[in-house]
Amino acid sequence: MLNLHNSLSRTVEPVAPLNHSGPLTFYTCGPTVYDVAHIGNFRSFLNADLLRRTLEFFGHEVIHVMNMTDVGHMTEDSSADGGGQDKMEVAAVRLKEAKKSGSLPEGVEVDANDPYAIADYFADRFLQDAKALGLRVVFDADEFPERMPRPTNFIPQMIAFIQRLIDDNHAYVAADGVVYFDTQSFPDYGQLSGNTLDTIRSGEGGRVDAQTQQVKKHPADFMLWKPDSQHLMRWDSPWGEGYPGWHIECSTMAIELLGEEIDIHSGGEDNIFPHHECEIAQSRCFTGRDSFARHWFHTRFLMIEGAKMSKSAGTCYVLEDLLARGATPAAVRLELLRTHYRSNANFTFQGLKDAQRMIERWKRMEAWLARHADVERVGPGPVESALGAFSEAIGNDLNVAGAIAALNGALAGIPIEAEAPPPAPDGSAGSGTWGDDLAALGKMNAVLGVLDLEHEPVRAAGGMDEAAIEAKLVARAEAKANRDFAAADAIRDELIAAGIVIKDGADGTTWTRSVG
């Protein structure tokens, strides 16, 4: 049983499907595909993935949908009403520059004049990264493409959605030709964010474009359709050639794919207002129901080394940046996931190393259990016994740190350094095998999702290739054989400086790349 904090009620509530026998429906506000997703974006998607895996851990079937926003939206503050620059155009310029400077990956061909090609390019990059980090919904989408819908495939549905809102007097065409949602027609506006119509009215200062404010009935009214013959992506509509508003996409796709009332809706904390507030308004006016998503799940922001993510400070890391520094996808996943989703997380390179070490230890445990899976032991074994604490922690509003502690506690009970497991005392055999513990570990990992990810560094660190490293190691072995330890240590120091850590074992020397 999962108890989960609900941003709408601001309390922790049990999660159960609306339709008791049916699956849970879960919609996640996914990435925009004008740029590569950074690790802050991924923290939010990973927490949605963790939630989904936890629901499955507790025996629910989950239909998880995560969109990829490919309609070019606007860059400026006033842009909710249609101003600013088209983000897809910005992306095009950026791509053209990357092409010119040769910073585009080898073999990539993108027609920067085609917005759909740009969207495809960044969508592919996203899918790649998301798979490396183990987002289940992305694997689902291989079989069911509709699990990762793109708004450009839902334009007719959006138009029908908007038309119905107009027909029911929840939307209107203003003097500027733009279709706006009439927030005053929805008394519950502000329930999610606390930004009620009164507070918005009184707080209207500076940030709203005076000209568009004049044509709207209320400053909080937001755009549903904007006629614009200049916009890069545009479609015919009853209100002229143009493009849909930002919020209408998610409402339309969620209702189309999951039904008029869904169980869980997730996103980053910045989505609470205006995006999710507006989604609720539109959707409930469309369906006439008193609920759209029953449970709202919001992940707080990620900080980098104690500070805000910043482009100018170069801390808007993308997965590739971390891999290039020797991190493994598994460690990145764990580092981004192990801070509770309702706290600001602090990403550090030290933390990344911590995560890496923890996973390496789990991998050794897994290998040991697999080796001795058929061996009987006095049961229940350590991992089996920890499953209760693990389940209680993760079921308690996704207490990942507590769940990890349960797993680490089990680790102490397994002699992973021993060649052979301790023999079961006479007469006590038959209560289980180490394979049962392996199965329990599998259940835990189905939630954490790190053991089956790539856990070896995948990119060269420090610019030294394998042949060079091997050559150094041979030289060092020779020096050691001659008892010339000064020379051997000099080689070791050189490798460490290049980001290579060496390990002298019984079977010779092995090496790994270090993180950071």
Partner RNA sequence: GGCCGUGUACCCAAGUGGCUUAAGGGGACGGAUUGCAAAUCCGUUAUCCGCGGGUUCGAAUCCCGCCGCGGCCUCCA
- Region 58-77 residues binding RNA, contact defined as CB under 7 A: 73-77
**Minimum separation from the CB atom of position 462 to RNA (A):** 15
Residue closer to RNA by CB (options 353, 443) is 353
Taking the complex as a whole, the smallest distance from the CB of residue 102 to RNA amounts, in Å, to 26
Contact residue for RNA among 4, 15, 24, 29 (CB under 7 A): 29
If binding is defined by CB under 7 A, does position 345 make contact with RNA?
yes
Three-class SS state of 429: coil
Nearer to RNA, 291 or 348 (CB): 348
**Minimum gap (Å) between residue 278 Cβ and RNA:** 8
User: Of the candidates 28, 36, 30, which has an alpha carbon nearest to the alpha carbon of residue 53?
Assistant: 28
Q: Give the footprint of RNA on residues 236-265 (CB under 7 A).
A: 246
CB of 55 to RNA, least distance (A): 17
Among 120, 256, 260, 354, binds RNA (CB under 7 A): 354
In 10 A of CB 53, how many CB atoms?
Answer: 21
Choose among 280, 262, 102: nearest CA to 189.
Answer: 280
Cα-to-chain-centroid distance, residue 167: 38
- One of 17, 31, 381, 449 touching RNA (CB under 7 A): 31
State the number of binding residues for RNA (CB under 7 A). Answer: 94
Amino acid 390 reads F
Q: Which is nearer to RNA, 53 or 492 (CB)?
A: 492
Footprint of RNA on residues 395-454 (CB under 7 A)? Answer: 396-397, 399, 401-402, 404-405, 408-409, 412, 416-417
Q: Closest separation between CB of residue 441 and RNA, Å?
A: 15
In sequence order, which residues have a C-beta less than 8 Å from that of residue 49 and are 6 or more positions away?
Answer: 134, 135, 136, 137, 449
381 is a contact residue toward RNA (CB under 7 A):
no
Determine, following the binding rule CB under 7 A, whether residue 380 of this chain makes contact with RNA. no
Judged by CB under 7 A, which stretch of 138-146, 149-157, 350-358, 444-452 contacts RNA? 350-358
Which range of residues in 30-38, 153-161, 248-256, 424-432 is near RNA by CB under 7 A? 30-38
94 sits near RNA (criterion: CB under 7 A): no
Give the phi and the psi of residue 50 in degrees, each rounded to 5. -60, -40
Amino acid 144 reads: F
Instruction: Between 289 and 357, name the residue whose CB sits nearer to RNA.
Output: 357
d(CA 21, CA 265): 20
Distance from CA of residue 105 to its chain's centroid? 23
> How crowded is the C-beta side of 369, counted as CA atoms within 13 Å?
25
Nearest distance, CB of residue 427 and RNA, angstroms: 27
Q: Work out which of 94, 217, 361, 443 binds RNA, going by CB under 7 A.
A: 361
- What per-residue string of b and e applies to 238-268 under the rule 16 or more CB within 10 Å gives b? ebbebbbbbbbbbbbbbbbbbeebbbbbbbb
For RNA, give the closer residue by CB, 310 or 431: 310
Strand-pair partners of 267:
298
> Tokens representing 275?
């995006």
Contact by Cβ (8 Å): 426, 378 = no
- Beta-bridge mates of residue 504: 509
* Residues from 134 through 193 that contact RNA (CB under 7 A): 193
3-state SS class at 151: helix
Residue 257's H or E segment, with its range, is helix 246-258
349 binds RNA (CB under 7 A): no
Q: Is 391 in the site for RNA (CB under 7 A)?
A: no
Interaction residues for RNA, span 267-306 (CB under 7 A): 267-275, 299-303, 306
Cα angle 64, 7, 44; round to 5: 50
**CB closer to RNA out of 154 and 368:** 368
